[in-house]
Structures are given as C-alpha cells and as structure tokens.
Amino acid sequence: MRSANRLSRGEGGNVMIEFALLAPVFFMLVMGLVEFVLYQYKSYTLNHIVYESTRSLQTGQVQSATNMRQKFEEMCAESAGPLMNCEDIQWDVRSYDALNQIEYPPVEYDEQGLPKNFVFQPGGANQYSVVRATIQHSFVTPFMDKLFQMGPDQPAIANAFCIVKNEPWN
C-alpha cells in the first residue's frame, strides 16, 4: 500500500514524457490503418460497380440506349455506395469477337494521374465486353501515399476489371 501512495504522489513527469514520445507514432499508425481501410473500401466498391455495370453491357441494356455512355454511367451510379462518387471513375470499355483477341493495352497516365488512352466501345450481341475502371485516391498520412501512389506527385489508383460474353439479345 505504501508504494501505491508513493506512485500516486510522484510528480517526476515520466508518464508525460513517455506519452509525448509514443503518442505521435500511435496516432500515425491509427490514421494509417483508417486510411488503408478507406482505400480498400473504395477498391471493393469499385469492383462491385464494375461487375454490376458490366452486367448491363452483357444483357444489352446499355447498347439499346440512344446515349450509351450516359446510360452506362447511370447504371454505375445505381450500384455505387454513399462514399463513392461515380463521376470520378475513369472507364475503359472495349469489345472483342473472341477470347484470344482480348488484351489490355498498358495504361498511359497524364501528369494528374488520369488515363489518356481509355475508350468507350461496348460490344454487340455475342461479343466479349472488357471493362476496366480506375479511380484516384489521396492519402493524408505521409507514409501511405508513398506506398500506393503511381509516382512522384501522383495519386494512388484503385483498379477493377471484368470480362463478359454478351448475351444474344438480337
């Protein structure tokens, strides 16, 4: 009991110094963890949006619209969650006649980290539709942006891919 009283009366400041040394590291780890979870959420949500949107290509819903790109982006917005802004998604939609013809050309990014060579060419009935999507993500924690970014002064990018054979809707 005597040692407990002595500890409660201690005014040396050791605890405050130890807290000052460890707290920044602890809070940086917690922030990094929270940011990584938000990045993973964005990545998984992007995958979900791509799969759902590709289904609308597969069934011909998009191809039957007068403005295919607008219809496709509307279908994307219906699949997105509350934390995802579909206007930030960059789409690369291509069509092929056979599986052995499918190839992903390397993405060329501009200085803002936006793809320069993405196209929107949905396929017709019985063709293969290939969908690739990217979205940028900015980290606040200093070491997280270094781990995930594309290059110096460029944001991190989450990607999603999907390949389907369109149904014979004709």
Q: Residue 3 falls within a domain, yes or no? A: no
Tens-level pLDDT at each residue, the chain (170 residues) = 556 666 566 566 788 888 889 999 999 899 989 999 999 999 999 999 999 999 999 988 888 888 999 999 988 888 887 878 889 999 999 999 999 999 888 888 888 888 999 999 998 889 999 999 999 988 888 788 778 876 777 788 899 999 999 988 76
Q: Residue 6 falls within a domain, yes or no? A: no
CB neighbours of residue 1 within 10 Å: 5
Q: Which helix (H) or strand (E) holds 120?
A: none
Q: Write out the residue range of the structural domain in which residue 113 sits.
A: 13-165
Number of domains in the chain: 1
Cut 0.75: pTM above it: yes
Q: Residue 94 falls within a domain, yes or no? A: yes
Q: Residue 124 falls within a domain, yes or no? A: yes
Q: Residue 1 falls within a domain, yes or no? A: no
Q: Give the integer Cα–Cα distance in Å for 13 and 6.
A: 14
Q: Residue 111 falls within a domain, yes or no? A: yes
Q: Please tell me the predicted confidence (pLDDT) of residue 33.
A: 92
Q: Give the integer Cα–Cα distance in Å for 125 and 142.
A: 48
CB neighbours of residue 58 within 10 Å: 19
Q: Residue 146 falls within a domain, yes or no? A: yes
Q: Please tell me the predicted confidence (pLDDT) of residue 141.
A: 82
DSSP character at residue 115: B
